[in-house]
Amino acid sequence: MTYDALIVGGGHNGLTCAFYLARAGHKVRVLERRGIVGGAAVTEEFHPGFRNSTASYSVSLLNPKVIADMELARHGLSIVIRPLAYFAPADDKRYLILDKDPARSRREVARWSSRDAERLEAFHTRLDGIVDLLRSLLLKTPFNASAKPRDLLTALGVANQVRKLGLRGQGDLLDLFGKSAGDLLDSWFETDILKGLLGFDAIIGNYASPYTPGSAYVLLHHVFGEVNGVRGAWGHAMGGMGSITQAMAAACLEAGVEISTDAPVREIAIAGGKVVGAVLESGEDIASRCVVSNLNPKLLFAALVAPEHLPPPFKERMEAWRCASGTFRMNVALAELPNFTCLPSAGRAEHHGASIVIAPSLGYLDRAYMDARTLGWARAPAIEMHIPSVLDDSLAPTGRYVASLFCQQFAPTLSDGSSWDDHRETAADLIIETVTRHAPNFKASILGRMILSPLDLERKFSLTGGDIFHGALTLDQLYSARPALGYADYRSPIRGLYMCGSGTHPGGGVTGAPGHNAAHEILRDFAAG
């Protein structure tokens, strides 16, 4: 049997791409290495009776068009908005809350600085202008560095959108791509805890200091989403992130997609400069009109494509493709909720449903990065904790809880040549101690834990270097340069081999946008014959 398309990797973008191709009448098969589909967006039991989103952990960037087209709600997806946006403990007595209600956020910031409270709304308004530009580009194929009429028209369209920003907006855009998040935030605000909380977004999945030039864009990348029509909100998928990809899988099956799990691909089959299918590690040889990779491009072209098929400049680009997110992920089962010294509670409280961020200043984030560069991990790591079971009783036994710990500034590879296998427990203990300094009952309440070092993330989810974005979100790896100049249109140097993962525009996060865009380019090629 010959397929129209084989999708390598059953993560959310692979499933999205498969759906659009099958809906258009094509015969599609998804090949997933693990025993379940979903990639890094899965829900798994990690301690008896306790389930959680194993890697990806929160919803905001999932594109509304993808949700609607795949009818994910009909297939069981339900998303609730977090009751409180952010809770950031500063010390034993002080904390900062930011809420989806701007008036409340202003009051909370005013407890620290009336000046910063006055400037907060203007900061978000200026940011929103750039976010609107970014949103307009999410579901559009970037222009390639060529003189083709289509690319020229796309480039002119983008230039016109930038023109409409006006001089101040264009200046803001330049700042976001050229400045560090630290320099940008320092120019706006004076309060350390506010700058630390906002700056945390700039280092999520970004192994860098908040003072690294270009890190301001990563801050922007995390604020363009929406949940249930509310822009900038973050939510929880009931049942965990796996409910997103399970709903996607159901939509795919309904559209006629074949899904094969426990089906790792050994190589992409190429003949005469064109893809002819894929070979599984089992030896099964599958013929197909095209192959679509949902993998990190570095992994795809290093492991599955023989080097003689690649032009030297492209091969060099992939060898130099930077993958380093500095992420350390934990899931913990809890006997009770953390009781924060700065905001004590007898039981469940509003802030337990927030994104709980330990990042008290930009200096704290900078020191954490410097530690990671020299020691391998931060002595005082930056931590975002969610306790999804306060919103979703299905994840833990009655009266018990699960927490996600998403921790930054851990070196993807250790400079002394040792393995993360030698240090993962030490780093995990350090993370627990960091939270316990703010919530003294936390360590004693832990019933079980799941630890995912950068190496574990690579092994379990094929995230090269533990990179959750499939490649750093820096200016030289964005838009028309993602993954390489001349190949930003989801195609590759090999005819019939396409890319649909987070290593393509618009980048990482559970968006579905790369899968959507790649499918439309493939359908364009199919129509052209």
Q: Is 401 helix (H, G, I), strand (E, B) or coil?
A: strand
- Which of the two residues, 176 and 435, has the higher pLDDT score? 435
pLDDT at residue 147, as a whole number = 61
Look up tokens 């990190």; give the residue.
296
- The answer to whether residues 448 and 50 touch, using CB atoms and an 8 Å cutoff, is yes
Considering only CA atoms, which of 6, 1, 33 is closest in space to residue 17?
Answer: 6
> Is the bond preceding 210 in cis, omega lying within 30 degrees of 0?
no
pLDDT at residue 393, as a whole number = 95
How many angstroms separate the CA atoms of 305 and 300, rounded?
7
pLDDT at residue 192, as a whole number = 98
pLDDT at 176 over 90: no
pLDDT at residue 428, as a whole number = 97
Q: Is 402 helix (H, G, I), strand (E, B) or coil?
A: strand
Average pLDDT (1-26) is: 97
pLDDT at 146 over 80: no
How many angstroms separate the CA atoms of 145 and 488, rounded?
9
Sheet holding 446-452, edge to edge: 95-98, 86-89, 355-358, 377-386, 401-410, 327-334, 446-452
pLDDT at residue 154, as a whole number = 83
Q: How far is CA 51 from CA 12, 43, 292, 383, 449, in A?
A: 20, 7, 31, 20, 11
Look up tokens 């089906």; give the residue.
263
Considering only CA atoms, which of 122, 124, 119, 121 is closest in space to residue 190?
Answer: 119
Q: pLDDT grade, residue 175 (50/70/90)? A: confident
Within 10 A of 232 (CB to CB), how many other CB atoms are there? 17
The pLDDT tens digits of the residues spanning 380-424 come to: 999 999 999 999 999 999 999 999 999 999 999 998 889 999 999
> Domains in the chain, start-ordered, CATH in brackets?
2-44+61-76+239-321+471-528 (3.50.50.60), 100-189+210-231 (no CATH)
Average pLDDT (284-295) is: 98
pLDDT at residue 173, as a whole number = 83
pLDDT averaged over the chain? 94
- The answer to whether residues 336 and 441 touch, using CB atoms and an 8 Å cutoff, is yes
How many angstroms separate the CA atoms of 204 and 484, rounded?
23
pLDDT at 174 over 90: no
Q: pLDDT grade, residue 100 (50/70/90)? A: confident
Look up tokens 């574990």; give the residue.
456
pLDDT at 222 over 70: no
Helix or strand holding residue 20 (H, E)? helix 12-23
pLDDT at residue 230, as a whole number = 80
Average pLDDT (222-247) is: 86
Average pLDDT (325-340) is: 96
Within 10 A of 5 (CB to CB), how many other CB atoms are there? 25
Q: Which amino acid is at 409?
A: Q
Average pLDDT (183-198) is: 96
pLDDT at residue 329, as a whole number = 97
The pLDDT tens digits of the residues spanning 503-520 come to: 999 998 999 999 999 999
The pLDDT tens digits of the residues spanning 451-508 come to: 999 999 999 999 999 999 999 988 899 999 999 999 999 999 999 999 999 999 999 8
* Distant-in-sequence, close-in-space partners of 68: CB < 8 Å, separation ≥ 6: none
How many angstroms separate the CA atoms of 494 and 482, rounded?
17
Express as a percent the part of the chain with pLDDT over 70.
Answer: 99
> Residue 138 corresponds to which tokens in the numbers above?
């999410």
> Residue 489 corresponds to which tokens in the numbers above?
């249109």
